[in-house]
Amino acid sequence: MSTRRKALLVTVSNRLPVTLRRGARGPERVRSSGGLVAAFEPMLEHRGGVWVGWPGLELRPGESLSEPDDLYQIKPVGITKSEVRGYYHGFSNRTLWPVFHTLPGRASFDMADWESYERVNQRFADVTANAIDPGDLVLVNDYHLMLAPAQLRHAAPTNPIGFFLHIPFPPYDVYRVLPWGRNLLRGVLGADLIGFHVSGYVRNFVDCVQQLLGARVDRRSGLVEHDGRTVRVAAFPLGIDFPHFESLARSAPEAGFSSDERVILGVDRLDYTKGIPERLTAFAHLLETHPEHRQRITFLQLAVPSRAEVTEYRKLKREIDELVGQINGRFSSATWTPIHYLYRSIPQDRLAALYRDADVALVTPLRDGMNLVAKEFVACQVDDPGVLVLSRMAGAAETMTEALLVNPYDVDDTAAKLHRALSMPLAERRSRMKQLRQREATSNVHAWARKLIARIREAAKDSNRERRWNTR
């Protein structure tokens, strides 16, 4: 008689928490440290489980990513160079990314990219299906893998399957420009539960399902009927590893700002959704309209290189280089340079020191699923509290209401809020920051992961049962 093992947690994402690199000493594993790793690695290490994803390079025959002391299994998905172009740079980053950020004018639509996306999603589903037993819970992550839930459902009809989208879900009028919009909806509806960062994205998704698939929906309870099953749809706002960032901030050496300098900080991947040119223009506008800040403030913008294979990103880099040059050329003096611009990534403890020592964080994406930078900034504000200036277009704005909220397209508004942030009395800074910190400390990434997993399990139990529907 076989004894059944404990149900596993299986995380599926485009990238694995380890990347393969080939150096002079042969293949080596490099660890990555994003939000997903912070969310799931402790759980996988504690309970055992599997992570399915792409290692960044093709494994050669005989090569393995696993090491003997691994606390959970790593299952690599092989992707060829041409599939990296089609599935990843193409369909994921040139088609879905701009459309989902409500910037369809930047998107391209290519049948070959779509076919590659379908094929690679099927491979993710196959690798996952081979790694699981009935009862194992699977969480598929993000826009790269929207077809995988339905593809996996064929092989795993009863397993609890969840899908979480890390970027916004656009309104129907934008979504419908996607030639493959229906297929993508049917793909995610293979899951028992579909999670988004905020309730606005849930509403958009349910609208699209109703309009494009004609499905029966219950907006109030977040239910969609599809293929004889009931799928639950809900918001789960992602948090950060708050204690980790707070303790980094308590121990990191000083950032090195001079004592009479006030610093505005921007931290982003170099991406057109992050609104970096608009932010630089707003800063120039502040110097124009409030000359009292000249010589006294510095804007430090950290831009991490990203997706340089995509033409749009190379164009953006040139645009930012030129804008920084123009603004510095116009306002600099012999002793002061207004904008310090770093185009690289820095270690996390240095980042924590910048967050801690900055006076203002300027987080002004044109559109952003959540935005973790805003949350990391408040976690690191352990000394004299600074001010968060946050775009209303970021998912984070739905809960971080004590920030100064701005419309990032409105340069006058952003400049005025920056002035207000720089002039804010200590008592007001303290009370706003206290509330922001309390919320992020409680709603942290561990609470998020626990809740999401519990809800996927419940949804899977209920998905074949008839429910009470509010379809009006």
By annotation, the residues acting in catalysis are: 166, 368
Per CB under 6 A, which of residues 170..209 are in contact with ligand GDG? none
Interacting residue with ligand GDG among 288, 346, 412, 450 (CB under 6 A): 346
Q: Map residues 232-251 to x or -, x wherever contact with ligand GDG holds by CB under 6 A.
A: ------x-------------
- Cβ pair 343, 269 in contact under 8 A: no
Q: Please identify, among the stretches 72-80, 185-193, 368-376, 381-389, the one whose residues bind ligand GDG according to the rule CB under 6 A.
A: 368-376
379 binds ligand GDG (CB under 6 A): no
Tokens of 30: 């490099």
338 binds ligand GDG (CB under 6 A): no
| Distance from chain centroid for Cα 180 | 23
| C-beta neighbour count of 423 within 10 angstroms | 11
370 binds ligand GDG (CB under 6 A): yes
Half-sphere exposure of 269 (CA within 13 A, CB side): 11
- Look at residues 357, 266, 361 and name the one whose alpha carbon lies nearest to residue 320: 266
19 binds ligand GDG (CB under 6 A): no
Per CB under 6 A, which of residues 304..323 are in contact with ligand GDG? 304
Q: Map residues 24-63 to x or -, x wherever contact with ligand GDG holds by CB under 6 A.
A: -----------x----------------------------
Rg of the Cα trace of the chain? Answer: 23
Shortest distance (Å) from residue 266 CB to ligand GDG: 10
368 binds ligand GDG (CB under 6 A): yes
Shortest distance (Å) from residue 156 CB to ligand GDG: 25
Nearer to ligand GDG by C-beta: 221 or 345? 345
348 binds ligand GDG (CB under 6 A): yes
75 binds ligand GDG (CB under 6 A): no
**Helical segments of 307-444, H only:** 311-331, 348-357, 372-380, 411-423, 426-442
Q: Which amino acid is at 186?
A: R
372 binds ligand GDG (CB under 6 A): yes
Nearer to ligand GDG by C-beta: 35 or 153? 35
Residues in the chain: 472
Please report the sign of the dihedral spanned by the C-alpha atoms of residue 351, residue 356, residue 362, residue 367: positive
267 binds ligand GDG (CB under 6 A): yes
- Cβ pair 236, 196 in contact under 8 A: yes
What is the 8-class DSSP label of residue 336?
Answer: B
* Three-state secondary-structure class, residue 127: helix
376 binds ligand GDG (CB under 6 A): yes
373 binds ligand GDG (CB under 6 A): yes
Interacting residue with ligand GDG among 198, 248, 351, 416 (CB under 6 A): 351
Q: Please identify, among the stretches 102-110, 362-370, 442-450, 455-463, the one whose residues bind ligand GDG according to the rule CB under 6 A.
A: 362-370
- CA distances in angstroms from 343 to 305, 310, 405, listed in the order given: 6, 17, 26
Q: Please identify, among the stretches 7-15, 59-67, 327-335, 364-372, the one whose residues bind ligand GDG according to the rule CB under 6 A.
A: 364-372
CA pair distance 158, 270, nearest whole angstrom: 41
Per CB under 6 A, which of residues 387..406 are in contact with ligand GDG? none
CA pair distance 29, 193, nearest whole angstrom: 33
Please report the sign of the dihedral spanned by the C-alpha atoms of residue 456, residue 460, residue 466, residue 472: positive
Q: Which residues bind ligand GDG (CB under 6 A)?
A: 35, 166-167, 238, 267, 269, 302, 304, 345-348, 351, 368-373, 376
